[in-house]
């Protein structure tokens, strides 16, 4: 199989060339393959099938990392076969398992392009940064601050793999949120009034507003699930959120005014107008 280099760049060109219409939507999911797994492939395949049933058609699908673990060329080839029939652009951020192989980081850069990148559509700027264990590097946060600070769009959305720790919000797995440079990251997104931070890594669904910052986690793309998170929960800290362990993806919608909303679509359960899990950022 011949793998196209700079795949994110070519897909972003498709996104930015699409005529602007409102409302528009995009989809997110992560943790689709920390390592080769036929059961996970079947779940992810169903998620991709359901994405293509959405109306209106999503602008793009962002895989938020851990999609080609351990990061060998063979695993990337396998992933690209899985998404080969997808009729919408697909961009990818790197997860920790995508870098498990000694040359995993090099393979990602070779095949998808820079780990930090940005693009825009209509009223919204999207900034993707490289965040996995043990957290972002200074160079990643420098890119984020520069991209947000120089952008003039009214809406800004951040895409990355690992969420911040948020006072052990993901207990009993506090290690699923990063602590390294966490305060610096939160200061940047709060200063620039980022409308939504999209993450994975936590193998479940979670929506939470922390200190005015809305964060959605979609880590139910096919690789395991957290056994500690049950149905929808009201969380003690800050704004009540939603959380659950099930295979799913998230559809995020943006209207002309800039309002952002999301609905969670479980795998194998069809697409319902009134989902059990939804949010307004």
Mean pLDDT of 194-219: 96
pLDDT per residue as tens digits for the range 43-101? 999 999 999 999 889 999 999 999 999 999 999 999 999 999 999 999 999 999 999 99
The tokens describing 269, both together, are: 């359960």
The tokens describing 213, both together, are: 């910052």
Q: Is the CA virtual torsion 85, 11, 22, 198 positive or negative?
A: positive
Q: How far apart are CA 65 and CA 96, in angstroms?
A: 8
Q: How far apart are CA 166 and CA 177, in angstroms?
A: 7
Q: How far apart are CA 262 and CA 271, in angstroms?
A: 13
CA distances from 278 to 77, 93, 251, 258 (A): 34, 24, 9, 17
What end-to-end distance do the CA atoms of the chain give, in Å? Answer: 41
* pLDDT of 129 higher than 70: yes
Domains of the chain in sequence order: 7-280 (3.60.21.10)
pLDDT per residue as tens digits for the range 114-123? 999 999 999 9
pLDDT per residue as tens digits for the range 79-92? 999 999 999 999 99
């Amino acid at each position: 199989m011949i793998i196209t280099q700079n795949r994110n760049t070519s897909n972003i060109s498709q996104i930015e060339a699409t005529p602007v219409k409102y409302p528009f939507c995009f989809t997110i999911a992560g943790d689709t393959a920390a390592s080769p797994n036929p059961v996970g492939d079947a779940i992810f395949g169903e998620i991709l099938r359901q994405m293509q049933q959405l109306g209106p058609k999503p602008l793009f699908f962002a895989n938020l990392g851990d999609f080609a673990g351990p990061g060998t060329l063979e695993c990337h080839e396998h992933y690209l076969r899985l998404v080969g029939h997808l009729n919408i652009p697909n961009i990818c951020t790197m997860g920790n398992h995508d870098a498990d192989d000694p040359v995993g980081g090099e393979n990602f850069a070779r095949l998808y392009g820079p780990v930090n990148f940005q693009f825009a559509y209509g009223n919204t700027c999207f900034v993707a940064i490289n965040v996995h264990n043990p957290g972002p590097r200074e160079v990643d946060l420098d890119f984020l601050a520069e991209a947000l600070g120089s952008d003039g769009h009214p809406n800004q959305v951040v895409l990355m793999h690992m969420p911040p720790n948020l006072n052990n919000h993901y207990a009993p797995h506090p290690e699923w949120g990063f602590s390294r440079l966490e305060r610096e990251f939160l200061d940047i997104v709060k200063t620039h009034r980022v409308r939504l931070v999209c993450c994975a890594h936590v193998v479940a669904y979670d929506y939470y507003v922390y200190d005015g910052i809305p964060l959605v986690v979609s880590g139910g793309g096919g690789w395991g699930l957290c056994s500690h998170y049950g149905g929808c929960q009201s969380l003690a800290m800050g704004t009540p959120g939603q959380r659950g362990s099930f295979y799913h993806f998230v559809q995020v919608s943006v209207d002309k005014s800039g309002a952002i909303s999301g609905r969670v679509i479980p795998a194998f359960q069809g697409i319902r107008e009134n989902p059990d899990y939804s949010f307004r950022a």
